[in-house]
Homo-oligomer: A and B are copies of this chain.
Amino acid sequence: MRRSYARNPPLAPLQNQGRPGPQAHRAESHLPSAPSVPKATAVSTFPARGDKKQVEEGLGFTPKFDADGLMPAMAIDATTKEPLMLAYMNAESLQLTLEKGEAVYWSRSRQEIWHKGATSGHVQKIQEIRTDCDQDAIVLYVEQIGAGACHTGRSGCFYRKIDTATGEMSFIQDGKAFDPESVYGKA
């Protein structure tokens, strides 16, 4: 079955929550509170989940998001098999990833859709997307465009290993793949 991930019907706009902004009218304070909807939670166009057997053994993609509307997504270099970064997706960013064929995440710090590489040019072209047995995590095999995935200037974010005996870390690669200031500007 061909299923379009185009927005039909369009996704509902993300709802504001939490403290009212400076323009909030005090006169409205008697109104019943809107339901608490995390900002990351968009209306999902993915099908409803079936039972455990359907989720684990079936071929329908019915992703499960956590209480904050997110699931973890691990990007892996499709050529080297090196883990590049672990980030999060909400339903909208996962749908955009499928539509664009490029990794689109949800930025927890900025609370917004994050099309990886939109400013740096370091987009991640999707080669393959996998999900796990209970469909609450994603692995992206990507072609990393540009010198690297990590904002520190390295090819990937997992550049330090931990010595289990001492708890100290060491770098697994020397040097940086690119100059982060020239790409992202000064921190």
- Residues of A in contact, count (CB < 8 Å): 50
Which residue from B72, B131, B166 sits with its C-beta under 8 Å from A158? B131
Is A147 positioned at the interface, with any CB of B under 8 Å from its CB? Answer: no
Is A89 positioned at the interface, with any CB of B under 8 Å from its CB? Answer: no
Given the known interface contacts A61-B162, A139-B158, the answer about A152 and B172 at a Cβ–Cβ threshold of 8 Å is: no
Copies of this chain per assembly: 2
Is A91 positioned at the interface, with any CB of B under 8 Å from its CB? Answer: no
Contact with B along A170-186 (1 / 0, CB 8 A): 11100000000000000
Contact with B along A124-142 (1 / 0, CB 8 A): 0010111111000101000
Are the C-beta atoms of A129 and B164 separated by less than 8 Å?
yes
In the bound complex, CA of A83 to CA of B78 (Å): 12
CB distance from A23 to the nearest CB of B (A): 29
Contact with B along A48-72 (1 / 0, CB 8 A): 0000100011111100000000001
Is A24 positioned at the interface, with any CB of B under 8 Å from its CB? Answer: no
CB distance from A17 to the nearest CB of B (A): 16
Residues of A that sit less than 8 Å from B by CB: 1-3, 5, 52, 56-61, 72, 74, 76, 81, 83, 85-86, 98-99, 101, 126, 128-133, 137, 139, 150-152, 154, 157-162, 164-172, 187
